[in-house]
Amino acid sequence: MTRARDNANLSPTIPDARMPNLTGDVTTSEGAVATTIATDAVDIAMLSATGTASSSTFLRGDNTWVTPTDTNTVTALDPVVGDFDYGQTWTDYSPTSAGAGDGGRAVGSTYTNDTGKPIFVYIGLYATASSTHVSIEINEDTVGSGYIGAIYHRNLMMFYVPDDATYSCPSAEAYDMHIWHEFR
């Protein structure tokens, strides 16, 4: 003898009307199925992590307490970093028409940072031919380069210039400048 099964009562979820109203660290709103765990309700001891929590370990994403593999590396910052952004402001040296350089800066010219502080330069370039290579030089050394793949496509170059250094955007390739800002 075979009995027919009523699948309507085999739902894997609890109907809203039968969901208990939870309070404390885990709460629900009346009639809602979703629960909320309160902020700071789960402390370190309640985590199911392996290893031992201590001042010399950290909890990895796989829930394992581990000691860092390198605890002796000290990274010294160049002392000039401490002098950056002391009373400096952004100055716009962009031309009023592309390539004119009438705003004070031009592709192919070399400038000297004589501010007594490092500066940050932001240049926007665009190709005047089908494709071109662009570069930045500081003290006549190429420190950055890029490639503009199609005519009128743009490339943004951003770089740091130490005090008393020269800087330029050489004009050996087919590109021109449309933005030149300096944080000085």
- Stretch 157-178: mean pLDDT: 82
Least trusted range by pLDDT, from 2-6, 116-120, 142-146:
2-6
List the beta bridge partners of residue 160. Answer: 120
Predicted local distance difference test score (pLDDT) of residue 81: 47
In the CATH scheme, what architecture does the domain 84-183 have?
A: Sandwich (2.60)
Handedness of CA 75, 76, 78, 83 (dihedral sign): positive
Bridge partners for 124 per DSSP: 156, 179
pLDDT in tens, 132-162: 777 889 999 988 887 776 666 677 788 889 9
Query: What's the token pair of residue 121?
Result: 């330069």
Q: How many CB atoms lie within 10 A of CB 109?
A: 13
Look at 26-30, 107-111, 141-145 and tell me which has the smallest mean pLDDT: 26-30
Q: How much is the mean pLDDT over the chain?
A: 74
Q: Kindly indicate the confidence band of residue 87, based on its pLDDT and cuts at 50, 70 and 90.
A: confident
**100's tokens:** 């004119």
Under 8 Å CB-to-CB from 103, ≥6 apart: which residues?
Answer: 92, 93, 94, 95, 96, 180
Please return the burial class of 160, using the count of CB atoms within 10 Å of its CB with bins 0-12, 13-18 and 19+: middle
Q: Spell out the residues 6+ positions from residue 35 whose beta carbon is closer than 8 angstroms to its own.
A: 22, 26, 27, 28
CA 169, 170, 171, 172 dihedral sign is negative
pLDDT > 90 in the chain, percent = 10
Q: Which residues is 142 bridged to in the sheet? A: 137
Supply the pTM of this predicted model. Answer: 0.51
Residues comprising the chain, all counted: 184
**Could you report the per-residue pLDDT of 49-83, keeping only the tens digit for each?**
888 888 788 777 788 888 877 655 655 545 444 45
Residue 20: pLDDT band (50, 70, 90) is: low
Q: Given this model, what pLDDT does residue 162 score?
A: 92
Measured CA to CA, the distance from residue 63 to residue 134 in angstroms comes to 47
Domain with CATH 2.60.120.40 in the chain: 84-183
Classify residue 76 by burial, with Cβ atoms within 10 Å: 0-12, 13-18, 19+: exposed
Assess whether pLDDT exceeds 50 at residue 35: yes
For residue 24, the model assigns a pLDDT of 73
Closest CA to 91 of 113, 67, 62: 113
Sole residue written with tokens 């309700």: 41
Average pLDDT over residues 124-138: 78
How much is the pLDDT for 101?
47
